Each structure stands twice: as C-alpha cells, then as structure tokens.
Structure 1
Amino acid sequence: MVKLGEKSAGDRHVVIAGGGPVGLWLAAELRLGGISVTVVEERTEIDRRSKALTVHPRTIEILASRGAHRPFLAEGLTIPFGHFAMLDDRLDFRELDTPFPYTLFLPQARTEELLQEHALGLGASIVRGHRVTGFTETGRAVTVQVTGPDGAYEIEGAYLVGCDGTGSTVRTAAGIDFPGTPSTVLGRLGDVILDNPPPSGFSSFRDQGGVMVAPLPDGRFRIVGVGPDSLTAEWPGDLTLDELRRSTAAVAGDDFGMRDPSWLSRFGNATRLAAEYRRGRVLLAGDATHQHFPTGGVGMNVGIQDAHNLGWKLTATLNGHSPEALLDTYHAERHPVGSQLMEHSRAQTALMTTFTPEGLDLRALFSGMLATQPAFNLALAERLTGLAVRYPSTDPAAHPLTGTRAPDLALTGTDKRLFELLRPDAHLLLDLTPDGTLDRPTQGLAVHAGPLDRPPAAWRELRAALIRPDGHVAWAAQRDDTAEGMHSTQGSPWRKIVETGSGQSGERNG
C-alpha cells in the first residue's frame, strides 16, 4: 500500500477519487491485476441513505466474472420484473440470456459495504475523510493534491481516475466540459414508516401524478413520486412529510399511515454527459461522466460497467502488456453507452411527466406494447440491464459476435463456466479446433481448448474466439474460415490483439 504523503513505489500506482461503488470496483479490478491503488473518499463512513436500490443482471455477471457475486445473491431480493417509466405493464427479465434473469433489490449502502470488503481483501488502500482538491500532471505521472484531517499532502500516481460524482472535482480540475440540459422536473423521495403499507410492488399513475412504493430491508418503505407540480425549474424548498403525504394520497387515495421519515429529498432531471472520459493521465467514470433522472435504477450499474471496461485497460497498460493508446478506447467505447443512457433517461422522464389525456393515452399505448409484444419487451429489457451493450468494430468484415458480451458458456472438459475463467489481466482464448492446436502460451493470454457444451446458436459454428478481460468478444473465426495463420505463432489476429493490447479485431479469420 502507498503511505500517505509519500510517492508510490514505481510507476504502477493509480489514485482514485471517490469511494462509492464505481471507485471501489475499479480499485478491486486494479488490485487483481497487481496494480497499487489508493482510493481517496471524502465521506468518513458509508452513507446509509441509499440512492440506488437495484443491481442489474449485467452487473451481477460482472461480479460473477471475478467470483464476487455470492454475497450479493445471498442478501439481495431477486425481482424478475422491472418498471419502465412507471408504466402499468412491466419489463420481463425472465427471458434474458443470462444466469441472472432478474434484478437484485439491495440498498446501495450494503452494496458499498460488500464492494469495500472485496477491495480491501485484495489489498486496496482506502482513506476516508480525505478529499482530492486538484492535481498536476507531468509526462510520466500525476501528482494529486489531497486534504485530510491533518492538513494537505500529495500522492503521486501513474493515473488519476475521478469517480467522485456529478460535481466531480477531478473533472473540473481537468477542464473537461460537462454539457447537457438543466433540470425542469423535480421528483420526490421519502424513506418512511408505513402503518398500512400497500401490496408489494405497488405503483399508481393518474392525471394527478405517479407514485411507487418499495419496501426497504430495515422495515421502512421508499416512496417515489412525481406530479404536475413537479414540472418546474424553480426550487420550491425542501420536501416535507406533509407534502409527501398529500401528493401520495392524491394519486393512491391513501397516505398508508406515513410517518417518521429518515430521509426526504427532491431529485431533478438535469442531464449531462462528459465531453471526454480521458484527458492525458486523468480519466473519469460513473457519475463523474453522466448525470440523469434516476429512471430504471441504472446509474450505479452503468458506472460499475464503466469501471469494468477501464480496469483491465489500465492494468494492461501499467503492466507493460499494452501501449498507452489502449486507454483511448475507453472513451470510444463507453461514451456512446453514456449517450444512450441519456437518451433512455429522457424518454422515460417524458413518459413519467405527462398528465394530459393525450399523454396518458401515449402511456397506455406504450404499456400495452410491453404486455403484448414479447420481442419488444425483451429488447427493451436487454438495453435497460446492459446486456445489449456492444462495442462495434471499425472493420465491416468483423465477425458478427465481435464486441458483443460473451454469455456464461458451458465448457467441456472442466466443471467451470466461461465467467469463472475471465481475469482482469489476461484475454481468454477459446480454442475450439478439434486438435487444440491454438493452445500456445502468450503473455497476457489464458487458453481453454475444447468444444462448447450446448452453445447458443450464434456460437455453434465457431472455430475460435478471443474474449477480453471484461467479457466482450475481441475476435472470432468461423469453422469454415481459412486455417491459414490460425496455427501460426506469428501474425494471427488473436495474437496481435493480445500483444498490442488493441481492444478487438475486425478480422474474421487468421
């Protein structure tokens, strides 16, 4: 670990500003790759007021790819349906192609505790009650200014990653723009005791507004609502219990015996996306890159997925397996995902804040589509959960699987599945040739030779596939592709990807 106020040992140290779920997952990824890391968190302890309550299927897959998912599954409540814009009909997760066709209902405070235990167990240094205030960058390092209880000091690292929220100090200090639109809607949130709670999964939407009620593990309930009076850019003052009672009763016909709030808050729909995810030795992830209305419970999940994309790339760069240019692919791949997050959030916000007869008819039409069109329901569920994310190749001849997320394939000859073989410091080569002749050791490469056990249709005709450390396909070849170069120790596309560190290849074969 790096001692406070001292330089890091060598050039393999990363400073992370922000110890929320995103910063903690990134820290764990870097430690698994042998990288020294210091997480600087302003809060002295984990905030018990959980903004996020939902862990999506793709995030559970990410946890599973590092063997970190079991505590989450043990504690989280599995929910096979999800809401979209408070519509009456729900998204159905049961048909998703994943071992985890559900969301986990788990307060963010507990998610942070589990991720902190994971990161600390891997040797990450986490300092609380300290705040990153700025940095200076040289050609080979970044010196991070920090303020703690005993005053100011500096930490030197090879890179600084801002996981410090929408008001990111790191983003501001780096001069990275955060363009977007201001808030025009204010939602209501209250964590309260209910003497007469409604049935589980209760929600209601009328011309008077919309309200959702969800049970919390401590016996409280979370009430989230919007109404015609939410359509304002003016701050009406802090939310009161009386206002939450009145607005809830106006929609649901009952305030459910609401009392003893532990948290009352308003939240807006300001929507912004960082113009750059990387500038030199400074990178951003999570809420430091995207701000949006909290629709569908996706924000924390997209942030963890940012960290998962970035972690292996920093590891490969700092371990000398890849050139620094690999880090440029982080922005190229994740910025479009952030842009899509903005689009989906705005679309749901529009549906949640329309109270006219025309707007209510639009909601009814859209809700009916979810109920009667399974393909539409599935496509929307795949997008919301992150399972549909694909990092497209620039080569039009790329195999169709290139850039897609690899499923948890069953592998013959082992009792393990694909997720268990993924590592943050190595690509995984699936050698599906009959004689396993692609099985040659290469730095930064793990190999599994043998056929797949009952693979999905898209994988049945493959000759080989290279899986990135984050679980996305870097390269694939069909059975009927030419074998030239496939068995060579020089020049194979998969070998070039591993040796140069490029994210993926557009080539179909060797």
Structure 2
Amino acid sequence: MTETNGTSNHKEALAEGTVLIAGGGPVGLLLATVLSSYGVKSVLFERNKSTTKWPKMDLTNPRSMEIFRRLGLAEGLRRQGVPAHIDQPVLISSGLGAKEAITKWALLGVDKFRKYIRDNNDGSQPLEPWQRLSQALFEKWLKGLCDADPLIDIRFGWKIESVDEDSDKAMTTVVNVDTGETIAYTSDYVAGCDGASSRTRKSLGFPLDGGPIPSCVLLVHFKSRDLSRLHKQGQFWHIFLLAEPGKFGGAIIAQDEVDTWTTHLFLPLDANPEGIASEEAVYRVLGGLHGPYPIKIDEILVRSVWRPNIAVARTWASANRRVFIAGDAAHQNIPTGGYGMNLGVADAFDLGWKLAAAINGSAGQGLLESYELERRPVALRNVNHSGVHFEVHEKVSDILAGGDPHIINDETEEARLLRRRIRDHYQTHDGENKDFGIEMGYRYQSPVIVPERDTQEPEWTPSRYIPTTWPGSRPPHIFLSDGSAIFDKFGKHWTIMVFVREGCGQDLLMDAAKSLSVPLSLVDLSGEDQAKRIYERPLVLIRPDQHVAWRGDRLDSLESAKDILTTVTGRGLSGIKLPYNSKLAEKPTEAFSATTELSTQVTTFEMEKMGGFQL
C-alpha cells in the first residue's frame, strides 16, 4: 500500500510478517537467507550501491561453517575461498629481511583439518573445518544468492534515516542516496544490521559500552605476484611482524594464495597516516625491524585508516521487541581471533529462526525476549577475548625491552635467548583462531532454556570445547556408526533425540508438539552406543539453531511435555521457568580476563591494562 503526499516522500506498509532489514553486509544478507529458509519474506536496504571492496573478515570459523552447512551453503561457500589442500601457517617474524621466521603456528588447511576431525571422533571437534575467504568475495557470493531468492527484496542505494516503534509496528524512514526520495515504512519487525555506526541503534538510543583503543592502523589492500619475495620465509596465511623500536608492528594477510594481500601497519595516535604512501606502508610492515622490504606491487586496491575498538551495545532489542540489532551494530572487537564477523553469523541465525518462529506462529513473543539475553553475554565474552589475543602481540615489547632488538637474528647466545623467549611466548599463547571453547562452547542462559537441576555444570575453558549436552550448549558432533554426521540428523525445526530402545516419554513429547503446533522431529539413535554416552541423557531436545533446549531421563505425563515445549518456545513460562540471572550479562567476572571489564552499569570503556596502555 502506498500513500503519496504530493512530494518525493511517501509511506508504505510492508506485508504482514515481512521483516525490514537495515544493512546489506554479511549479517543482513545472512539474516535474509535464514528468514527465507523458514518461508519468511524480507526487504533489505543498503546505503552502498555494491557489496564491499574491503577485505575485512578472512576466516569463517568452524561454528559458522556448521551454521552454513545447516543452511545447505557450506560447500558453495568453500568454492569461493582458498582451496582445501592449502595449509594456513601463521608466522611470527622480525621482518622479511631475516633469513627465517622466529616461530609459527602450524594451522591446518581444510583437507588436513577434516581428516583430523574424522580421526578424533570423540565429540570434541567441530563438524566442519574453518574456511579462508575474504569478506569482499563472501558478500558478493551471498548477495547473488539473495538476488535470486523470491522471498528476499534487496534495495541497494538506500540509507536508513531513522527507526522507531509502537506497540505492534516498527517505523523506518529510508532515503535514496541518489534522488533524495524518502519513504516511511511500517513493518512488523526491523533488524538493524547496519554496522558499527548503526543508525538503527542510534535512533533508538541504545547505549554502546566501550570504545576505541588508543592506536590507529593503516590498512593497504593490494595485488602482487612477487611470491619469491613475499614467501621468503615460507608460504603463510598471516605473518605477524615486529617493528621499531622493538614492539608489535603489524601484519600481512594472504587473502587468496594467488595475488591478493592486505597489510596492517600499527601506528601511534599522533601519527599522520595520510603522509604515508601505500607502498611505503607495505614495505614498512614487511621489513619489520630490518628497514623497508620492497616488493613488486601490481595494484593498490583500497586503503583506509581504522581504530581497534572494543564495545558492546547495552541493549539489543527495543522495548516492544519490534526492533533488534545484530552484528557490528551490537558489538565491535579487535580483529585478533576473527570473532567479529563470526559473532555476526551466529547473531543472524539466532535472530532469524526466532523471528520466523514468532511470525509463523510456532512460538510466542517470549522467544524474541531471549535473543538479547542469549547473544549479548556471548558477545561480551568474545569481544573481551579478542583483547586477550591482541595483548599477546603487545606483550612482545616487554620481551624486547632493555636491550637491542636488532640483534635478534645474530648467532650469539643473547640473540638465541631472545628468540627462544619470543618462541615460548607465542607457543604458550597460541589460542588465536584455535580457542574452540570460545567459538563452540558458549552456553545460553535464558527463560527459554530448561535448566538442569541437582547437577553440576560441566567445566568451561576458552581453549577447548568440552563435549556436553548441558542445556543451552551446542551439542557434540560425532560421526555415527554408518559414517553420517549426527548434526545432519537434526531437523529443520525442533528435534528430539532418543538414545534408548524402551519408551521414555518421547511419544508424549510428540503428542504435545502436535497439540501446540510445534514442528518437532523424532530421531531414534537407540543403537548408537557412542552417541548415547556422549549425549549424556536418553532424551535431548535440540533447537533449530543446534543448541540444547532441554534434556532428561524420561517424561511421565503429557502435561510435563507441554510444559517443556511451552517454555522453550517462549509461549508462557511455567514452574520450570529459569529466571534470567546470567553473570555474563550483568558483570563479567571469572569468565573474563582481568584485563577488561564491560559492564551494564558503565557507559565508558574501562581497561586496567592492555599491552601497557590505558584509556
């Protein structure tokens, strides 16, 4: 419906159940894809006229790849990225002028990682290996899929002007960047996936706790086939390089193992990046402690100056739950660890399935309440952990202090001791891109998770994923006796996994689901002894996002089964309701490092220590 008011401005009401998405980056495009997979329409607005040319993300982590597999997109994504046979070592170097790197992290390529997963079928590993892929290629591919989807209406060249809500609608004003035409839309829901400077977040006044770290970085994205110079110390995915006068100086990233690279030159706040030529910046990063290291550059693609930022929005949903934010609109982090984009992928899937369930009538509005309650604590933890990884690099200045760092490649006892100290430091703190407890081990706490009673919660550690079906967890992946993946048994909607031959109440749960119009699949794995042991309970209820909603030994009544489904779908909480009391949302304590505290009680970023500087 269009109501013209005599100017270029007019009003439109989107069809009932259609979600308006602000922002056409990876998170917005993926959210539209998730909604479509559940039959929900969306209209997406993006201020830019094309997908990004910036490299940004370069690793889709294993948990994100599991989500893409869930959507049937994993193999299509892999075809866009670095081939599976190529390993992805990370080198630590004093500069390419040196004969060899000081040390390295030997990260596996997809083929070797996939074999490792098969050989360690104990529930501790992901189903999918990671995948190297530049965001520039990722966005282009995903937009192509969305363009071909009849349930997704993409409109590039439109910027979000403002967002508001009333009790049952959201109101969004958009402006055409070329013509100035303004349209005021009403819709049932709005998802703000519009980046760090989100107009959605600002329109609704959601506070952003945190802020920039006192440093700036000059990024140069370029083409070069000078592999003899670039691979002097061996093939690499990343090289982290030292710099004058003995500190962490920057990094180079191999984007495609062919000819596309990105360097990051770390500079003090009082530096003048505009006065540094792009070629000079590349040479300075690569040279490290040894002075500029020239290579043949074929083309400078883009350059920019960015500031590392650690921040989490205090509010992720409007008062009436008509507007939500996700991705960089909700959280920003230092790139170390690759958590930003991968957090956004999980945000998009979580918000997408919950919106679809509410729109399609298989869940209540209480399910939407759980989005912020579940995702924000994960963001707090991961954003903080990106700072932990960054501190590993910053601590190099302490190791190099008090002496001449330029001796580092000499064949003297002093130089060998210095190299050993740096090797030991990096090998002790090697969790960047390997901390699977952070990536896969997060456990949701919210009123739509049925709590475990009279049982101690399993250990959690950032460095490794500990297999468990504790409610709120991502359940363990294993290959079953026929070689199939247990994750592939999960249904598109809800799934009850049964691991015993005798009846233990699964029929009651199926009857309850039918009476409540909850789409529920039953998977009988009673002959799978290993799965039974690892999954810990005879009955395990899996949500559409592959997290455990409830588990138990048996159900004895239809009423109990209905109580469980009513709770987990947010339709009305009964006596098994869990009052929301997550320490992670109120104040990070033992789950976070002592270096950083992001709290709902503060509006500024408080950092006691992070690589020797303070805000």
- What TM-score, normalized to structure 2? 0.71
Would the aligned equivalents of 2:251 and 2:265 in 1 still touch at CA under 8 Å? no
Please state how far the C-alpha of 1:460 moved relative to its aligned partner.
Answer: 4.9
Q: Tell me the residue number matched to 2:31.
A: 26
- In structure 2, the residue matched to 1:46 is 51
Sort the Cα spacing of 1:106 and 1:120 in 2 relative to 1 into closer, same or farther, 3 A.
same
Cα separation, 1, equivalents of 2:255 and 2:239: 16
Residues 270-299 of structure 1: CA deviation (Å, up to 9, x unaligned):
221111111132110000011222212221
CA distance in 2, matches of 1:446, 1:300: 31
1:381 corresponds in structure 2 to 435
Distance 1:257 1:89 in 2: 22
Aligned partner of 1:402 in structure 2 is 471
What's the CA shift string for 1:378-418, capped at 9, x where partnerless?
Answer: 9952045x212221367451775211112345568996743
Q: Using the TM superposition, give the Cα deviation of residue 455 of structure 1 relative to its aligned residue in structure 2, in angstroms.
A: 3.8
What's 1:55 paired with?
60
Q: Which residue of 1 aligns with 2:427?
A: 368
Q: 2:13 maps to what in 1? A: 7
Task: Return the match for 2:566 from 465, 489, 496.
Answer: 496
Q: Which residue of 1 aligns with 2:415?
A: none
Name the residue aligned to 1:290.
Answer: 331
- Aligned residue for 1:283, secondary structure, equals strand
Deviation larger for 358-367 or 204-213:
358-367
Please give the secondary structure, in 1, of the residue aligned with 2:32: helix
Following superposition, the deviation at residue 175 of structure 1 comes to 0.7
Conserved 8 A contact 2:80-2:137: no
Look up the equivalent residue of 2:253 and give its one-letter code: A
Q: Check if 1:427 corresponds to 2:454.
A: no
Deviations 1:202-249 (A, max 9, x none): 62533254443333339434243445xx23266543652223323432
Aligned-residue CA RMSD in angstroms? 3.5
SS at structure 1 position matched to 2:222: strand
> Aligned runs of 1:213-232 on 2, under 5 Å?
213-217=252-256, 219-226=258-265, 230-232=267-269
3-state DSSP class of the match of 2:195? coil
Q: Match of 1:374?
A: none
- How many angstroms apart in 1 are the aligned matches of 2:11 and 2:422? 56
Q: Is the 8 A contact 2:365 2:570 kept in 1?
A: no
The one-letter code of the counterpart of 2:497 is: L
Change (3 A) 1:435 1:272: same
1:236-315 residue pairs with structure 2 within 5 A? Answer: 236-237=273-274, 239-241=276-278, 242-251=280-289, 255-259=293-297, 260-280=299-319, 281-315=322-356
Report the secondary structure of 2:54's partner residue: coil
- In terms of Rg, which structure is larger? 2
Change (3 A) 1:115 1:67: same
Which secondary structure state, in structure 2, belongs to the residue aligned with residue 261 of structure 1? strand
Change (3 A) 1:503 1:277: farther
Gaps of 5+ in 2: 4-9, 94-101, 117-123, 402-417, 458-469, 579-615
Change (3 A) 1:363 1:154: farther
8 Å CA contact retained: 1:402, 1:473 = yes
Which residue in the other structure is 2:211 paired with?
181
8 Å CA contact 2:92–2:241 kept in 1: the answer is: no
From the superposition, tell whether residues 476 and 458 of structure 1 become closer, same or farther in structure 2 (CA, over 3 Å).
Answer: same
Q: Are 2:57 and 2:338, in contact at CA under 8 Å, matched by a contact in 1? A: yes
Distance apart, 1:63 and its partner CA: 0.5
Return the letter of the residue paired with 2:444.
Answer: Y
Q: Using the TM superposition, name which of 273-282 and 198-207 deviates more.
A: 198-207
Q: 1:296/1:82 Cα in 2 relative to 1: closer, same or farther (>3 Å)?
A: farther
Residue of structure 2 in register with 1:474 after alignment: 549
Q: Confirm or deny that 1:447 pairs with 2:521.
A: yes
For residues 23-59 of structure 1, the C-alpha deviation after alignment (integer angstroms, 9 at most, x for no partner) is: 1111111122222211101111112222111111111
Aligned equivalent of 2:606: none
The percent of aligned pairs where both chains have the same amino acid is: 22
Q: Which residue of 2 aligns with 1:156?
A: 186
3-state SS of paired residue (1:279): coil
Separation in 2 of the partners of 1:324 and 1:460? 30
Partner Cα separation in structure 2 for residue 254 and residue 498 of structure 1:
59
For residue 393 of structure 2, what is the aligned residue in structure 1?
352
Structure 1 stretch displaced more, 32-41 or 391-400 = 391-400
Q: Distance in 2 between matches of 1:328 and 1:55?
A: 28
Moved more, 432-441 or 442-451: 432-441
Match of 1:138 among 158, 166, 181: 166
Please tell me whether the aligned partners of residues 2 and 38 of structure 1 are also in contact (alpha carbons under 8 angstroms): no
Q: Is residue 24–residue 115 contact of structure 1 (8 Å, CA) maintained in 2?
A: yes
Most deviating of 51-60 and 111-120: 111-120
- State how many pairs are aligned: 491
What is the TM-score when the length of structure 1 is the normalising length?
0.85
1:444 is displaced (CA, Å) by 2.4
Q: Residues 309 and 483 of structure 1: is their aligned pair in 2 closer, same or farther, counting only changes over 3 Å?
A: closer
